[in-house]
Amino acid sequence: MGINNFCKLIDPVSPPDTTPQPFDSILVDVQSFLYVAIEFCLESNEDLIFREIAKLTWEQLSKMLNLLFSHNVHDKDSCTLVLAFDGEGVPMKWPTQRQRRAKIHDINGKNLYRYSLFGKNKIALQVERYILSRLKNRFKLRCSQLDVVLCGCQVAGEGEHKLFHVAEALSQKCRRPIIVSVDQDVFVLAFKRIKRYDALQIYRYGKFYNVNQFLNHSLPYESARLLTVSNLFGNDFIPPLVGITPINAPTLHAKLSPDENDE
């Protein structure tokens, strides 16, 4: 999940909104929906459980899309929807993934399906087909032309990274995207790539984070400083040297801010 509690650094200086800014595209990291679906599915037969995971994932996705479209700040004529699933990870991350799997001592029941969500897998493939079959006409009243782009589990790479690659390949259609992901890596990715877009927003757990507002107006120092020290907060490869909490977030910002002695 990237940097733990990274949002805690953003909240004190740029509180998230409950409504979005205008957008022309929606970039969805679907992987987190799969884990939620597995958690809440009730079936035990394998064929039925695959179908229920697909159904529950679709329910989460359609609910989220209805919410975003209900604000009526999107392009009514044309909107692009990018859906990304995790594919095979980069080789340098394989040891980390193996360690995570090794921590699952009981590979039975739902754990078996969580264990399987790496690279090309039957669960993600069925969910992809299920979603695409229902997206065709579902949101026509919201947007006259909804262009759907799928970057599935057959494509190597993590979903949040693939979202940006697809959006930048469709640069004329994705100038003002909303990124939907619970993975906090998307914040650092967005900070690094902000100049490639007219505007960027991140939707996470019911909150809208305006990346442009945070970087250009709210952050009391150059964003390069935050990006430079972000490795100190740890990630999937290295443990944190400094943890982020609501209590120490103001102190971290103060230490990163220039003082009178800075030249």
CA distance 149 to 79: 11
Which carries the bigger pLDDT value, residue 115 or residue 148?
Answer: 148
Higher pLDDT, 184 or 176: 176
**21-32 average pLDDT score:** 94
Q: Token pair for residue 120?
A: 């090309």
Supply the mean pLDDT for the chain: 85
Domain regions of the chain by residue span = 19-221
The answer on pLDDT for 110 being more than 70 is no
pLDDT in tens, 81-93: 999 999 886 655 6
Which of 95 and 199 is assigned the larger pLDDT? 199
This prediction's pTM? 0.89
pLDDT at 238: 72
Check residues 15 and 44 and name the one with the higher pLDDT. 15
Residue 167 has pLDDT above 90, yes or no: yes
E strands in the chain: 25-29, 79-84, 146-151, 177-180, 201-204, 207-210
Q: What is the pLDDT of residue 198?
A: 96
Q: What is the DSSP letter of 217?
A: I
Domain 19-221 in CATH 3.40.50.11540? The answer is no
Q: Quick one: CA torsion of 243, 27, 22, 222, rounded to 10 degrees?
A: 30
